[in-house]
Structure 1
Amino acid sequence: MDFTMYWFMLPVSTLVATGAMLGGIGGAAMFMPIFLIVFPLLGPEFAIAGPVAAIGVALLTEAFGFSSGLIGYLRRHLIDFKIAKSLIIIAVPSAIVGSFLSQYADPDMLKIMYGALMLILTYIMLRRPSTKEKEKITKDTLAGKFEHIGHERTITDNEANSFKYHLCHPGKGKAFTGIGGFITGLMSVGIGEIVTPQLVKQCKMPVSVAAATSVFVIILTVAAASGTHIYSLISEGGVDAVPWHLVLYTVPGVIIGGQIGSRLQGKFSAEKMEKVFAGLFGVIGIAMISIVFL
């Protein structure tokens, strides 16, 4: 195992994590095409042993990438743990089931499904609420305009700012949360793209609380899915079945990128970044499906 082979993934991972932070997406969505499309073009020695190994590394990398954001939200006391728990008990088991099933899926079928998912995410990204819409939802929520939708919640951050809001019944979106967790385990993306819009647009959570709660749900779901994939790889092929010489560069890269992205927040238009990534997802989806048939 050559531990210098993937040195270039340190700057690449840093760039991916920075962009993902600015665009509000999960980095795993960007790593999969790098692993499955770009690496084989560099030479057979760079290719990863199939989609399952790529998914495991992408999820493990994403878990570390979200860690710095989670620490920040924990310090600010912005996570609604009661709501997060109601989502986690659905998302985590679903992710584990999806992770186990991916071991038995045909590799080409996984690539086709991933490509199709990217095209669906393109549509979802373009349908995300705009910055003005999110600001209006937060303002209306804190003004008590959604008292009719459910029970009252109060979150007080570390600066003594209180967020009082009425939240829809937490069971309302459990089916979508389960689907998001399942496809995250199966194909590495899905939970973040489903949970965040659900909490903001459907459940009328203040954006800052929704973002913090989503990160907590995402990181536990991704950690469970990545742990399952890594366990399966080691069980079948031993410790060397995991490409540690790749993880060696992707993990520190996303940690660095997460810090850079958080410092650049507000300097770039979030809506423009989302549109850029939506277009990129569309290209990735078409490319991923194409490599199966070419």
Structure 2
Amino acid sequence: MTTVPVLLAQSVPIPADFPVEQFLAHWWVFPASILFSLVALSAGVSGALFFSPFFMLVVGLSPSQAIGAGLLTEVFGMGNGLLNYVRQRTVDYATAKWLLLGAIPAVVVGALVAHSVPTALLTIAFGVGLLILGVFLVYYDPPEKCVPGEGEGAFLKRKNTARGETVIETTDGETFRYDTCWRPPGLGLATVGGLITGLISAGLPEITTTQLIMRCRLPPRVAIATSVFVLALAAIAGAAVHALAATPVWYVVAWSILGVLIGGTVGTRVGKYVPSEIMEPALGVVFAIVGVIVLGSELLA
């Protein structure tokens, strides 16, 4: 079972100071990463929701190492999806620019905090974050099932009215026309999501996508593409901070990156066959349970 990944690793040029023995000993991260990436893309959730707990609880990395490794893995794992959305021209770049104003500074601050707070405190924050995100996935409908504007309320309805029209014309001939959103709520949500992502390597797309649809009237297809675009740039910033603050655990990350490149290719093809209205709540329960386990491992130790 270990033959294929080991032969693959041995065929690639390796720097002289690379921990080859540790790298080969962690070959099992490779098939696990394929599985995580496939499930994440099929269900439409952030892959880091899988990787960071896995790196911490199974691989044995410290919380800051696990979070940094999760972000680095996610940067490579979202490549296929991001390129597809850009090629399809489904990204609302005007909205994305506002979201990035909040997301990038917040993810940088979160990443810096993750390397400066005590390990026990970061572990607790990680567990609480997973628990909250798990509840979020259970409580809210999948983005594809949300109705644009259904949760905006009277105040946001007034603010979202008469601000012009946004038109998105995709390469496959579909045209989306919707009222241009009042930007501050999205900016605030992206700031919160970016901070959480910097701290626990996940949260930005889960928080922003549904809210862009329900409170900002974006069509689901546009909201998902826009959130992925924002996450890609924010994740790069967060991963860079984690990499500068501490040496990345390359003997693990090398396997996970290779795994998500393969799993991502397969996941984009099988995702349309997976019922998201079943998968997302089920994963939410799993993440909530993992959050409880992380909290228990720290508070009861």
1:125 to 129, 137, 143: 137
Superposed CA deviations along residues 201-231 of structure 1, whole A, max 9, x for unmatched, are: 1111111111111100011111100110001
Range with greater deviation from structure 2 (219-228 or 151-160): 151-160
CA contact (8 A) 2:135 2:285 kept: no
User: d(CA) in 1 for partners of 2:144 and 2:132?
Assistant: 24
Q: Distance in 1 between matches of 2:52 and 2:226?
A: 25
| Matching residue's letter, 1:28 | A
User: Does residue 190 of structure 2 align to residue 184 of structure 1?
Assistant: no
Aligned position for 2:214: 201
CA distance 1:101–1:132, change in 2 (3 Å): closer
> Counterpart of 2:4?
none
1:133-154 Cα distance to aligned partner (Å, 9 max, x none): 43x439xxxxxx9983743100
Change (3 A) 1:132 1:193: closer
TM-score by length of 2: 0.86
Q: Are the equivalent residues in 1 in contact too, given 2:144–2:221 (CA < 8 A)?
A: no
1:165 maps to a residue whose letter is Y
Distance 2:145 2:172 in 1: 26
Structure 1 residue 103 and structure 2 residue 109: aligned? Answer: no
Counterparts of 2:127 and 2:280 in 1: how far apart (Å)?
19
Matched, 1:258 2:278: no
1:57-97 Cα deviation digits (max 9, x unpaired): 10000111111100001111111111101111110011111
CA distance, structure 2, for counterparts of residue 253 and residue 75 of structure 1: 24
Q: By how many angstroms is 1:107 displaced?
A: 0.7
Equivalent residue of 1:159, what SS? coil
| Other-structure match for 2:6 | none
Q: Is the 8 A contact 1:59 1:188 kept in 2?
A: yes
Q: CA deviation at 1:15?
A: 0.4
Q: Residue 148 of structure 1 aligns to a residue in which SS?
A: coil
- The answer to whether the Cα contact below 8 Å between 1:77 and 1:158 also exists between their aligned partners in 2 is yes
Instruction: Tell me the equivalent position of 1:214.
Output: 227
Query: Which of 120, 142, 152 is residue 165 of structure 2 equivalent to?
Result: 152
Q: Are 1:151 and 1:169, in contact at CA under 8 Å, matched by a contact in 2? A: no
Which residue does 1:15 correspond to in 2? 35
C-alpha distance after superposition, 1:20-78 (max 9, x if no partner) = 11222111111122111112xxxxxxx32x21111111000011111110000111111
Partner of 1:237: none
Moved over 3 A (4+): 130-133, 145-150
- Between the aligned partners of 2:31 and 2:254, the Cα distance in structure 1 is 12
Asked if residue 275 in structure 1 is aligned to residue 247 in structure 2, the reply is no
Paired position in structure 1 for 2:102: 90
- State how far apart, in whole Å, the 2-side matches of 1:33 and 1:132 are: 27
- The reply on whether 1:230 has 2:250 as its aligned counterpart is no
Matched, 1:37 2:57: yes
C-alpha distance in 1 between matches for 2:231 and 2:169: 22
Q: Letter of the aligned partner of 2:204 in structure 1?
A: I
Counterpart of 1:27, as a letter, is: G
TM score, norm. by length of structure 1: 0.88
For 1:118 and 1:190, how far apart are their aligned partners in 2? 9
Identical counterparts, % of pairs: 32
Helix, strand or coil: the match of 2:173?
Answer: coil
Contact 1:129 1:201 in 2 (8 A): no
Equivalent residue for 2:181? 168
In structure 2, the residue matched to 1:25 is: 45
1:183–1:131 distance in 2 versus 1, CA, 3 Å: closer
Aligned-partner Cα distance in 2 for 1:174–1:193: 15
Structure 1 unaligned blocks of 5 or more = 40-46, 139-144, 234-240
The answer as to whether partners of 2:101 and 2:187 remain within 8 angstroms in 1 is: no
Structure 2 residue runs without a partner (length 5+): 1-18, 150-156
Secondary structure of the residue aligned to 2:253 is helix
Instruction: Please report the RMSD computed on the Cα atoms of aligned residues, expressed in angstroms.
Output: 2.0
